[in-house]
Homo-oligomer: A and B are copies of this chain.
Amino acid sequence: MEEVLREYQELNGSHIEFIPNAPTALEFSRIVHISRPVHFAGASTLKWSDTYLVEMMGSTPINVAITPDGFLADALVEGPDGQIYFVEPRTESMTMDSLLHSLHSPTGESGTTAICYLQSQNGNLYTPHRARSEFNSLRGDVPKDVPWATEAFGYSPDAVNLWIGNRQSTTSIHCDPYENIYAVVRGAKHFILFPPTEGYLLQERNYPRAVYTRPHPGAPLELTPIEVDENSNEASMVSWASADPTKPIRGTMPLRVTIRAGETSTCLLVCWWHHVTQSGDGPGGCGIVIAINWWYDMEMRGDKWVWLNALRRVSQRGDWNAPHLSGTDTVV
């Protein structure tokens, strides 16, 4: 693996390409083949004010992910018992008006109130074979696909997702088996990226699962371990990267990318590891962050998946699989 790591870094460096406009289908096809981040300015012109969003969505209930102080959903969190858990957020239903109100208010930072992040990741704008979505009334503004990407792949996206949050939300380091086109509408997203060849340095370990619950309406959120029935198909443990990418990680050469309102990026090509923070569109990074992403299935023919899967196996079979270690003991 060290030869693979070194050769990849020597061939690719830490270069990120910036292109003034959207690519042609052929240019994008080359980008997918190379699988390195490319950044397109001026590819999106969508404007969504709070007033417009509230007017369009009205009283439609939307599913929002909620966690206590410092949004850490799908992340490693130390429970009251001292155990590190892989914890999922609580999902609550609210209107767009109450979501935006919550995101604008400085609550949550005190540790007393819940932090919201609309991040349902289930094709909340579009998925094939589902005619309606929570965000039906916004669909007129969002293209069902990215024409140059659809032409390059030869098929439409598997899911189109809307993300609305503020600077209190962080997405912990992980990777997805999708090609991902990411466009920012308001605010900015800050990515720390690692290529698939560096995944084995991110110290994947197995963690027991937990979820945030609310014992009764209005009560504070509680971290609750998930008991998995032995006969169930559900996994009782989750393999998750324990390294902290905001600090140096031995052997890695991370890329740092910020996508701002109006920009589109392919920084999340298949199986690239990413850690995401965000800044709102208000002064000092307060305010709202809105992004839209199009997930395209990766090409399964050929050897790309075989290679990525082999890299994941190396990563998951490392001798760092010690479930009880702290999630932040980054080796420097």
Contact = CB atoms under 8 A, between A and B. Distances in A.
Contact of A26 (B29, B196, B301): B29
Nearest to A25: B26
A35 interface: yes
B11 A197 contact: no
A305 B4 CA distance: 10
A16 interface: no
How many chain A residues sit at the interface, stated as a range, is: 20 to 34
Given A7-B306, A29-B33, 17 more contacts: A3-B313, A4-B306, A4-B310, A8-B306, A11-B302, A12-B301, A12-B302, A26-B29, A26-B151, A29-B29, A30-B152, A30-B154, A30-B299, A33-B304, A35-B302, A196-B303, A197-B306
A285 to B, nearest CB: 34
Nearest to A32: B33
Interface string A90-129: 0000000000000000000000000000000000000000
Contacts of A32: 33
A183 B45 CA distance: 47
A328 interface: no
Nearest to A313: B3
Interface string A295-332: 00001111111110110010000000000000000000
A268 to B, nearest CB: 15
Number of copies: 2
Contacts of A305: 7, 11
B301 A34 contact: yes
A94 to B, nearest CB: 42
Interface in A258-307: 299-307
A195 interface: yes
Interface string A17-38: 0000000011001101111100
Nearest to A1: B310
Interface of A: prevailing SS: helix
A26 B303 contact: no
Contacts of A152: 26, 29-30
B36 A301 contact: yes
A313 B4 CA distance: 10
Nearest to A195: B303
Contacts of A29: 26, 29-30, 33, 152
A147 to B, nearest CB: 13
A306 B33 contact: no
Nearest to A10: B306
A8 B304 CA distance: 9
A32 B36 CA distance: 17
B309 A7 contact: yes
20 contacts: A4-B306, A7-B305, A7-B306, A8-B303, A11-B301, A11-B305, A11-B306, A26-B26, A29-B152, A30-B152, A33-B33, A33-B299, A33-B302, A34-B299, A34-B301, A34-B302, A36-B301, A36-B302, A196-B303, A197-B306
